């Protein structure tokens, strides 16, 4: 057994680590397990990179669609305001024409009153 006088963690060698026929198969099993875990990790990392790229692409698409929506809403607002002012202007034009007709009627009535 190994027993030295040093600071820190002290460990005595177990049967597995001190040697024997099981030693090689245990190391092989652990190396195989490490290899499997490394492959799993690499696949997950690749998947994460793909998802990160997809997320970035989706964010760019979302930003572009937001800009298009804002632009269309502004155009719609301008169109609605333009339509509203067109309707107001048409209403004012009708009132103006009505006022002109009433003025003409009153002018004719005034002339008839002066003649009589």
* pLDDT digits 0-9 by tens, 80-104: 999 999 999 999 999 999 999 999 9
| Per-residue confidence band for 62, with pLDDT thresholds at 50, 70 and 90 | very high
pLDDT over 90 percentage in the chain: 74
H helices of the chain, in order, are 15-18, 21-115
Q: Does residue 14 belong to any structural domain of this protein?
A: no
Could you tell me if 1 and 13 are in contact, meaning their C-beta atoms sit under 8 angstroms apart? yes
Name the residue with higher pLDDT: 5 or 40.
40
- Domain limits at 41? 20-115
Q: Does residue 34 belong to any structural domain of this protein?
A: yes
**Number of domain units in the chain:** 1
* 44, 74, 102, 107 from 113: Cα distances, Å: 101, 58, 16, 10
Using the predicted structure, report yes or no on whether residue 44 has a pLDDT greater than 80.
Answer: yes
Q: Does residue 26 belong to any structural domain of this protein?
A: yes
Q: Does residue 11 belong to any structural domain of this protein?
A: no
Q: Does residue 76 belong to any structural domain of this protein?
A: yes
Using the predicted structure, report yes or no on whether residue 32 has a pLDDT greater than 70.
Answer: yes
Q: Give me the chain's average pLDDT, please.
A: 87
Using the predicted structure, report yes or no on whether residue 31 has a pLDDT greater than 90.
Answer: yes
Q: Does residue 10 belong to any structural domain of this protein?
A: no
């Amino acid at each position: 057994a190994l027993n030295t006088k040093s600071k820190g963690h002290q460990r005595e060698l177990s049967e597995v680590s001190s040697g024997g026929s099981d030693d090689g198969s245990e190391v092989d099993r652990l190396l195989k397990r490490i290899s499997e875990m490394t492959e799993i990790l690499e696949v997950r990392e690749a998947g994460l990179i793909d998802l990160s790229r997809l997320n970035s692409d989706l964010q760019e698409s979302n930003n572009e669609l937001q800009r298009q929506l804002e632009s269309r809403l502004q155009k719609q607002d301008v169109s609605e305001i333009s339509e509203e002012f067109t309707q107001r202007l048409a209403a004012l034009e009708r009132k103006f024409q009505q006022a002109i007709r009433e003025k003409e009627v009153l002018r004719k009535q005034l002339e008839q009153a002066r003649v009589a």
